[in-house]
Amino acid sequence: MSDLSVLIVDDNEVDRYLLRRQLYETGLNLEVFEEVDGGAALTFLQNFDQNSADCPDTCPPTIIFLDINMPVLTGLEFLEKFAILHRREVFRSCIVMMFTSSEQIEDMHSIERFEFVKDYLVKGSISAADLRHRVERAISID
């Protein structure tokens, strides 16, 4: 049984692979889900919501790693939709960690208003030890 479940939302397969491997490197006991864009991630979460009645053991992912530049539903669009979902009991404990290569300040400003966004990771710039530290801190803040 895993301690934590996480969802990686990124259109780039290689980036998903890199994050997944880095998460394993941290040594944390994790269950990792992947989705290719904001829309798919939203559907995944909504399904979780519906299924939770049937299988009470599964819980929604604790951490969502979210890319910003994605087709269909961008990271920001996803956050806006997810903000509504987040008011529900099941998603209360969900937190989001942005995971993107854009270091643009505008992005930082536009995500500040979502209180469930706990951190901002820049792709390719953190070590496994760093990642573990940030994940632990994000969960404990929550």
Partner 1 sequence: MPDRCTEIARGSIVKMNISKKLSIIVLLTIIEVSITIGAACEIAKGATFQQLNVLHLKFNAQFSRKLVDIQNGARINPQSLTNVVTDVRQQPLDCLTLVNFLDEFIMKQIGTHYALGLCQSDIDVANSALIAIDRYAEGSIGRSALLTELQTAAEEFNANSAEFEPPIAKTVAFILKTLIPLIIFISIFNIAFITYLSRTISASIRNAIGMLQHSNSERDLGDDVEENISGELAELLTVARQRIRSDILNRELSTELELEVEKRTESLQIVNAELAEFAYRASHDLKAPLSSAKGLARFVSQDIDAGDLDEAKLNAQKICIQMEALEKLVVDILSLARADLGTDQKEPVDFKILIRDIKGRLYGQTEDASFAVIEDIEVSTPLVAEKTRLAQIIENLVSNAIKYRDAKKEKPFVIISVSDDSDSYSLTVQDNGIGIPEARRSEVFEMFKRFHPDVGAGTGLGLAIVKKHVDYLCGKIDFESSEDGTTFAVQIPK
Q: Is 15 in the site for partner 1 (CB under 8 A)?
A: yes
What number of helices (H) and strands (E) belong to the chain?
5, 5
Q: Is 110 in the site for partner 1 (CB under 8 A)?
A: no
Tell the residue number behind the tokens 């469930």, with chain if given: 116
In angstroms, the Cα distances linking 107 to 3, 18, 88, 140 are: 31, 22, 26, 24
Which of 52, 93, 101, 110 is in the footprint of partner 1 by CB under 8 A?
101
Question: Looking at residue 91, what DSSP letter applies?
Answer: G
Please identify, among the stretches 11-19, 55-63, 77-85, 131-139, the one whose residues bind partner 1 according to the rule CB under 8 A: 11-19
Residue 18 vs 90, nearer CB to partner 1: 18
Phi, psi dihedrals of residue 118, rounded to the nearest 5°: -100, -25
Q: Is 71 in the site for partner 1 (CB under 8 A)?
A: yes
Footprint on this chain of partner 1 (rule: CB under 8 A): 11-12, 14-15, 17-18, 21-22, 36-37, 69-72, 101-102, 104, 123-125
